[in-house]
Amino acid sequence: MLFLIALICGALSAFAFAPTNLWPLMPLALAGLCELAWRSRSLRQSLAVGWGFGLGQFCLGLNWIQFAFTFQDKMPHWLGYLAVLLLSLYLAVYPMLATGLAWRFRGERPVALVLTLAGAWTITEWLRATMFTGFAWNPLGVVLDSTDLLHTAAYIGTYGLSALVVLAAGMLWLFTRREWKPGLAILLAIVLLHFPPVPSLAAATGKQVRVVQPNIGQEVKWTPGFGDIAAQRLAQLSALPGGRHPRLLLWPEAAVTDPLEDARTDQHQAFASFERTRATALVGPGEDLLTGGIALFSKDGMFIDGAANSVFVLGPGGRELARYDKAHLVPYGEYLPMRPLLSAIGLSRLAPGDVDFTSGPGPRTIAIPGWGKVGFQLCYEIIFSGDVVDRRNRPDFIFNPSNDAWFGSWGPPQHLAQARLRAAEEGIPVIRSTPTGISAVVDAHGEIVNALPWRTAGVIDASLPPPVAAPTLFARFGNVIPLLLGLALLIGGIVLGVRRR
């Protein structure tokens, strides 16, 4: 019975995330988890409770993954539901471990369970983002993006915000148990952590950007002959009047589906040059284009032996100024793990093609004359807290092109919410361009300056927001801060529990 109730609580908590954004459901559901853990009669039962909570939350919150399987006809589409379930069965291990630790060291004091759960959740959530290539999607802290606590991410990061969510839930639970003093102490701590936004350099940079959202769905993106239609649509939107020149054009991930760089024969290289020239037909003097595209590698000049999912910096006439290669690749989306085994049983990549992408070196800052220093995070990379910028060469803004057309209606707003957290943590604006939405300009405090709705074609003309005046506390120390906070809460909870015994 406790497992079933935990499963329901976890499913309800998923509605705290975007797109529903019913954020109070998260502390309420976690308060229920505290009660279930307290009532557990054994470590095994407490582990089952935590696992059930995580299973309910992930199965519902990650439903968008199933949608991605509808675009791969080489595999039955029902595998998408199985993929969500299998992934959730694994991801639920992390809240299971946090709940088990909280029960094991609770002692006779409810506040010990709360502190231990908050600390353990912080640490296990970070582990979820790092183990086995990591899957950092939907940390608890992201539900606070519509509250004033968003600014606190600049100091304690996303996983620190997750600790606050668990503490708020614990406070509610303590009040139901008439544990007034520890409940009020937690409430006071949360109030004191309402830090003000870090000051920005200026009101605006005066540099004009145009974000293009062509509303090209995944169902037509890779169909033969659609490349010309896509190029025409991108050109029409890029040519719309508005804004001041010069401007920086920003196109989505894989906006150009044919290779923009091809190391094979002269003919292949000429075709890639044609694609670059066509893409920059409307790029005038003093302007540049940042666009997602594909680079193909060949050692012998004949056969493809690798590829990169990239962002190209293109100047007038198709001149290639720089290229960023995606580093954090998506298993099954951009490469097939254990390819000889899985391909033999009929599995394949979700994206078209049989060539696996090669990962790039990681966060990189590229200086673009006239526009400053740009950091790049391609699609999924933006969800990894503390791993989105080159700290030795801090950028002025982050460009995050993405192809959220894979993600149904739940994925895009969840993706945007996590991009907002990266902006707030690092104190750096984030600009997102996606083919179907949600494209947005996010300022250095994580606030949305402008956005285009899902499934809408259009452009955003905006002045590039400035970064904060100095690197945030989180930008200086990264996830060391939330991990120390989590460790302090964990040790505090354990000490309280053991002393009372």
Tell me the residue length of the chain.
501
- CB half-sphere exposure, 255, CA atoms < 13 A: 34
Largest pairwise CA distance in the chain: 77
The closest alpha carbon to 440, from 454, 452, 427, 428, belongs to 452
Angle at 351 between CA 349 and CA 354, to 5 degrees: 55
Q: Using DSSP, state whether 20 is helix, strand or coil.
A: coil
Angle at 113 between CA 108 and CA 114, to 5 degrees: 135
Q: Using DSSP, state whether 459 is helix, strand or coil.
A: strand
* Cα gap 232→282, rounded to integer Å: 11
* 64: its two tokens: 């968008």
Sheet (strand 440-442) strand order: 365-368, 372-376, 397-401, 430-433, 440-442, 448-451
Burial class of residue 245 (count of CB atoms within 10 Å of its CB; 0-12, 13-18, 19+): exposed
Strands 288-297 and 261-262: parallel
* Cα gap 190→212, rounded to integer Å: 40
- CB half-sphere exposure, 204, CA atoms < 13 A: 10
* Cα gap 188→291, rounded to integer Å: 47
- Residues involved in catalysis: 253, 326, 379
CB–CB of 236/276 below 8 Å? no
The closest alpha carbon to 467, from 385, 375, 392, 402, belongs to 375
CB–CB of 416/379 below 8 Å? no
- CB half-sphere exposure, 381, CA atoms < 13 A: 32
Distance linking the first and last C-alpha atoms of the chain: 29
Please report which helix (H) or strand (E) contains residue 441, including its range.
Answer: strand 440-442
Burial class of residue 96 (count of CB atoms within 10 Å of its CB; 0-12, 13-18, 19+): buried
CB–CB of 366/389 below 8 Å? no
* Cα gap 260→266, rounded to integer Å: 14
